[in-house]
Structure 1
Amino acid sequence: MKTVRILSVALAAAAVLFCGLSGPAQAQEQVGFQASDPFTANEVTLTAELNKPLGNGPFPAVVVMHGCGGWQPAVLYSLDLLSEYLSEHGYVVLDVDSFGPRNLSGDEMCASNAQLRQALVYRAHDAFDAMRYLRAQPFVQPQDIFLMGQSNGGSVALEAADASDLKSLNGPGAFRGVVAYYPWCGVYSQRPVDLASPLLIFNGGADNWVSASQCTRIKSTGADIAEITYPDAVHSFDINIPKQLYQGHWVGYDPQAAQDSEARMLAFFNAQLTPDIRQD
């Protein structure tokens, strides 16, 4: 399949099509499920926050994977807002904490490329464990489960979208669509990748932590890939923090990039839904 660099008008139209389905979301609930790759112990129960629209469903769902800092307060606050936004537009959202249950420090993880590379493997298992959890819920449409990740979580999302990794990870099925915010695109090693899921990547043009240009060179032999770069945005542009240096890298909120990417992500998800997903 050809690589797509600009989202089509159809995606924007899809957002309008489903906007009438939005409504108030239920209160957030904390849930847990077993990690198939515990990594730091014999057994680990992952923690996740679940947001669900009002009603019985079945609803499409999104698995959310945090960045290298884990559930740091500012990150969790921004992910909570994202979860509310998606739930108001008809999606169940499962925000997974990969580091806290394993007693891993976000600051230490962000400082170690070696540990972040290790995290790609067990966190990819986490993503599919989250899919299994959601598929078992009666209010979730099992064919319409998506994945979104930030930074290291975005790199995990790239792994989960790869058809070869899907086989090696024993995934229960491909995600309906995958969105990666400012990931390390070196996970694909500059090789053509057979994508099992459509992939949308958001980058900051002023990001000095990961390379946006590395992502633009990805070629897919499977599902479509789209990449959008916001020229003035830095790493973590969707996290509501002032622009600052963190471990030698610029991070910080860019309202235009954050709001535009959020709307485009919703449109991307809506465009991938199976027919007749919505029921009266």
Structure 2
Amino acid sequence: MSSFIGASNKLSQEMKRMCLLIFVLFSTAASAEQVRIPWKGDYPHNSNKPWSKNNLYDSGFSKNFKNGAPEEFGEIQKDGELNAFIYSPRETKGPVPFVVVLHGCDGLSTLTKEWTQHVADVLNEHGIGALVLDSFTTRYVDNTCGLADLHWARRRSDDAYSALDYLIEKKLTRADEIYIMGYSNGATTALVSMTSQEIDHMHHFAAGFAIAPGCSPSLQNSAVYTRPIVIFMGDQDDANDPKWCLELAKKTRSVPVQMIEYRGANHGFPVNAPAHDFMGWHLSYNATAEKDMMQTILSAIKTRRFTKGIELR
């Protein structure tokens, strides 16, 4: 009987230690404040034309919150709001640098939520805030996955600028300390957001971090960038062809554009999930590449130093 009691006491102590560990882990993780952000799209670079198969290349520049795209079931809506999750560093006073984080073509899926939580944790540990922006839920869009095009990247660019304005209006950060970071379709959005086509916004992002973007020829050939950009990509990416991003980075520009390519990494390298296929694309986590990417982003934000060229790591 005494041995049973002793074993029970040991088990109880072990459970207490486990509960304490879980409490510590959760207490150090970033916690989010959910907000609604008014969408702004009334800019000269946009138009009132609804989506149609005949204007595929300019329908993304819209003054409508919903512009009748197939993913929106043809619905047109002038105004709207976006869901967002704000992660602020603990024990900080006053404005801090912020990063607007954009999801990929499948929206804020479970895996994407876990990834954005991880990004927020890393940024918060270094005194940097994160705003995770949801472009799809309030538009009732399921996903925009498929062949890469610029329609949704253009639509979501004004989403990102709406978030930027919100952070400034709420005095959570300074106007020159806001960065944009996106994955996949969100990365293509980050590239569009840094172009001269978006110059009519009052405020602009300090720099852009694009993770596995679709650097389509139409984007690459026409883009004039206004702020520094860092592109992160795996050399085995079969969702978005790395060669187009290499061409984008090679082009002479007035601002630094850098591409960092990771050996043996594919489209899924930043997301800590079991290897799987999605829409025929191979996705698997690469811890070394993901850690290096986050360290590079942190260093760039802290030092405000950006370079140009192509680097294989």
TM-score, structure 1 length as denominator?
0.81
Match of 1:140, SS state, is coil
Structure 1: 5+ residue stretches without partners: 1-23, 274-280
Q: CA deviation at 1:211?
A: 1.2
> How many pairs are equivalent?
243
Aligned equivalents of 2:281, 2:30: Cα separation in 1: 37
Structure 1 residues 197-248: Cα deviation after superposition (integer angstroms, max 9, x where no partner): 1000000111111111211111242210110111211112111111211111
Identity among equivalent positions (%) equals 27
Show the counterpart of 1:118: 151
Match of 2:184 among 127, 148, 151: 151
1:238 aligns with 2:270: yes
Say if 2:233 and 2:242, in contact at 8 Å, map to a contact too: yes
SS at match of 2:290: helix
| Other-structure match for 1:258 | 290
Q: Give me the whole-angstrom Cα distance separating, in 2, the residues matched to 1:60 and 1:252.
A: 30
Q: State the 1:26 CA deviation.
A: 6.0
Distance change >3 Å, CA 134–CA 188, structure 1 → 2: farther
For the 8 Å contact 1:144–1:176, the answer to whether it is kept is yes
- Is the 8 Å Cα contact of residues 128 and 172 (structure 1) preserved in structure 2? no
| Residue 44 (structure 1) aligns with | 80
Contact 2:175 2:203 in 1 (8 A): no
* Structure 1 position 191, deviation (Å): 2.2
RMSD: 1.8
Deviation, structure 1 residue 192: 6.6
Deviation of 1:25 after TM superposition, in Å, equals 7.2
Q: What does 1:44-123 align with in structure 2 at a 5 Å threshold? A: 44-53=80-89, 54-106=91-143, 109-111=144-146, 113=148, 117-123=150-156
Structure 2 unaligned runs (5+)? 1-27, 42-64, 67-74, 306-313
Contact 1:58 1:141 in 2 (8 A): yes
Q: For residue 214 of structure 1, what is the aligned residue in structure 2? A: 244
Q: Which is bigger in relative contact order (C-alpha 8 A, separation at least 6)? A: 1
Over 3 Å counting, the alpha-carbon distance change for 1:217 and 1:112 in structure 2 is closer
Change (3 A) 1:228 1:188: farther
Distance 2:113 2:30 in 1: 18
- Structure 1 residue 122: Cα displacement: 1.4
Asked whether the 8 Å contact 2:97–2:128 carries over to 1, the reply is yes
